[in-house]
Amino acid sequence: MKKKNRSLFLAVFLLLCALLLPLEARAADISVFVNGKQVSGDTQPWVNEESRVYVPLRVIAESLGYACSWDQVSGSAFLQKGAETVKLTLGSNYYTVNGKRVKGDSYPVAYRGRVMVPVRSLGEAVQAQVQYDAAKNSVIVWSAADTVIGGGNSGITGGGSSSGGNSAAPPATGGNSGNSGNSTGSKTLAGRTIVLDAGHGKVQPGGWTDPGAVGYYGTPERDIVMDIVYKTAAILQKKGATVILTRAADQTWLTLAGRAAYATKYDADIFISVHCNANENRSYHGTAMYTNAVSYNSYADTKLAQALQKHTVAALGTRDAGLFQGSFGVLRNLPCAGVIAEIGFISNLEEEKKLAKNSFRQKAAEGLAKGIEAYFAAK
Ligand SMILES: [Zn+2]
C-alpha cells in the first residue's frame, strides 16, 4: 500500500466525491434537522454495523454556529463558537471540550474527505441534543439553548437493526486432510473449526464503507485486517483446520452479533476478530488482546488471548501492550473462546508504515497461527 500524503488523499477523495455523488444510490437517505430546519450537505449520514448513526460533522456544526477547521497533522477537527472549543480526532474515542478530555461512545472516521462522527459522540462533544429517530429515519439536533426535545424519541442511536449478513455465504476454506497437507499438517489443528473475523467492512447499507480506524497516511484498518485474516486462514488451512471467514473483501455488511453467530452456526472451537488499535495519542503502539469480562468461556478466552499475545508479539517484535477485558459486541454470546486481536496501532506513524507492509502482515498471520496452535496444543 502506498504511503500517501494526506492532503493528496483528501483531494482525491473530494474529487471522487464530486464525480460519484450524483450516481450514488440514495435509497436509504437519512434526513438531518437542526433546530427544526432540514439541512443538507454533500455527504449523507450512514448507519454502521452496530446500528451507530454517523453524520457529517461540518454541516451540523456549522448549522449550530460553530466555525470548523481541520488539522492534517493530527487528523483533528476543531470547532469554535465564542469561548467554546471542541476537538475531535479521527479514530479516537476522546474529545476535548473546552480543554477537558471527554471519553466518547465511539470515534469519528474520514469518509470521502469528510469527517463523519457518531450521533451520540457529537451530542457529547457539542452543546446540543443530538438524536436519531429511527421511525422517521432522521437525525434531530437541537442547540442546548433551544432544548425543546420532542417527546417520544427514546433511542439516541437508532434501533434500525438491519439483519445484515445472511445474504452472502461465508467463504469456508479448507478442512479435510486432502491437499498434500501431510507434510505441513498439524495434529493439533486437524479437525478444528476456527472463525476469523476481519474487523469493519467494505460495504455498509446504503453503499457507505466502514474503514475502521484510518492512519495518518490514509491506511484503512479494514483492508489491513482483511489481508491478515486471509494470510492466517491460508496457514491454518494448510495445517488441516477448517477456517470460516465472516467476511471477504467485497462481502456485504455484517452486524457484530451476526459475526459472532458464525461461531454457533459452524460449531467453532475458537473465534478471533482481527483489528488495528487507534488512539489520539499517536505515540501509543504495540500489540494487545481483548476479551469480554463477562463471558461463558472466561478461562478459555484468557488462555487463547495469552497464547495469541505471546506468539504475535514474538513474530512481530512489537511492544507487548498487554491483555485487556471489556464488553465487546462481537464477542458476546460466543459458544467458544473468543478474542479481539489488536495487531498494532494504526494511529502510530511507525506502526502504520509496518502494517502497510506485506511482510509485516505475513508475520502477523504467522504469529496468530502459532498462537492458535499453542492454544490447542495446551488443551
Ligand atoms: Zn477495529
Give the model confidence (pLDDT) of 167-219 as tens digits: 333 444 444 443 433 445 678 899 999 999 998 876 555 555 678 888 888 88
Q: How far is the CA of 200 from the centre of ligand 1 (A)?
A: 6
Q: How far is the CA of 340 from the centre of ligand 1 (A)?
A: 9
Q: How far is the CA of 187 from the centre of ligand 1 (A)?
A: 32
Q: How far is the CA of 209 from the centre of ligand 1 (A)?
A: 13
pLDDT of residue 67: 82
Q: How far is the CA of 86 from the centre of ligand 1 (A)?
A: 24
Q: How far is the CA of 318 from the centre of ligand 1 (A)?
A: 18
Cα distance between residue 339 and residue 356, in whole Å: 23
Q: How far is the CA of 199 from the centre of ligand 1 (A)?
A: 5
Identify the residue whose cell numbers are 424519541.
Answer: 153
Q: How far is the CA of 262 from the centre of ligand 1 (A)?
A: 18
Q: How far is the CA of 182 from the centre of ligand 1 (A)?
A: 36
Cα distance between residue 101 and residue 24, in whole Å: 37
Residues in the chain, total: 379
Q: How far is the CA of 258 from the centre of ligand 1 (A)?
A: 16
pLDDT of residue 163: 31
pTM passes above 0.85 = no
Q: How far is the CA of 221 from the centre of ligand 1 (A)?
A: 7
Using DSSP's 3-state secondary structure scheme, residue 108 falls into: coil
pLDDT of residue 95: 86
Q: How far is the CA of 149 from the centre of ligand 1 (A)?
A: 33
Residue 362: which H helix or E strand, with range?
helix 358-378
How many Cβ atoms from other residues are within 10 Å of residue 177's Cβ? 12
Q: How far is the CA of 65 from the centre of ligand 1 (A)?
A: 32
Q: Which domains does the chain have, with CATH numbers?
A: 6-146 (3.30.457.10), 172-378 (3.40.630.40)
Q: How far is the CA of 82 from the centre of ligand 1 (A)?
A: 35
Q: How far is the CA of 233 from the centre of ligand 1 (A)?
A: 19
Q: How far is the CA of 147 from the centre of ligand 1 (A)?
A: 34
pLDDT of residue 249: 61
pLDDT of residue 274: 97
Tens-binned pLDDT, residue by residue, of the chain (379 aa):
444 455 665 555 544 444 443 333 333 578 888 877 888 877 788 877 667 788 888 888 888 888 888 777 777 888 888 778 888 988 888 888 888 888 877 888 877 677 888 887 887 788 777 777 777 788 888 776 433 322 222 222 222 223 333 333 344 444 444 343 344 567 889 999 999 999 887 655 555 567 888 888 888 898 899 999 999 999 999 999 999 888 876 565 677 888 899 899 899 999 999 999 999 899 999 999 999 999 999 999 999 999 999 999 999 999 999 999 999 989 999 999 999 999 999 999 999 999 999 999 999 999 999 999 999 999 8
pLDDT of residue 184: 57
Q: How far is the CA of 93 from the centre of ligand 1 (A)?
A: 12
Q: How far is the CA of 72 from the centre of ligand 1 (A)?
A: 22
Q: How far is the CA of 190 from the centre of ligand 1 (A)?
A: 29
Edge-to-edge strands of the sheet including 193-198?
A: 172-174, 242-245, 193-198, 270-277, 337-345, 287-292, 320-326
Q: Is 158 left (phi over 0), alpha (psi -120 to 50) or beta?
A: beta
Using DSSP's 3-state secondary structure scheme, residue 347 falls into: coil
